[in-house]
Amino acid sequence: MKTLILALVALQTAGAPTAAQFNRALADACPTPRSETRNISCARAEEGSIQFSCAYEMRGANGAWAHHTAILQQAEGQWVWIDGPTRCDSEQPELN
């Protein structure tokens, strides 16, 4: 029980994902086409939550930059894309 409590505390105190971790989670969620991002900023979605809300800009297929928001969460030591638009949305909507 003590180990479970310590694990939950560690998750709750984990910092926000870095830009590299954000891009890795995005690439895992949508490997192709490759997404170019910038201005990534993440903060805990709610106090005490293990999910982080990340604002970012992503270059679309037309070359234009657009603002988006995504939800990421740590699972098994890595950041996982929970929700948010990707370049796969129009090609494989079942993935999002």
The CATH number covering residue 66 comes to 3.10.450
pTM score of the predicted model: 0.77
Question: Cα separations (Å) of 93 from 16, 25, 30, 85, 88?
Answer: 27, 17, 11, 10, 7
Is 18's pLDDT higher than 60? Answer: yes
Cβ contact 46:70 at 8 Å: no
For residue 84, the enclosing domain spans 2-95
Is 6's pLDDT higher than 70? Answer: no
| pLDDT tens track for 31-90 | 988 899 999 999 998 998 999 999 999 998 899 999 999 999 999 999 999 999 998 876
Count of structural domains, the chain: 1
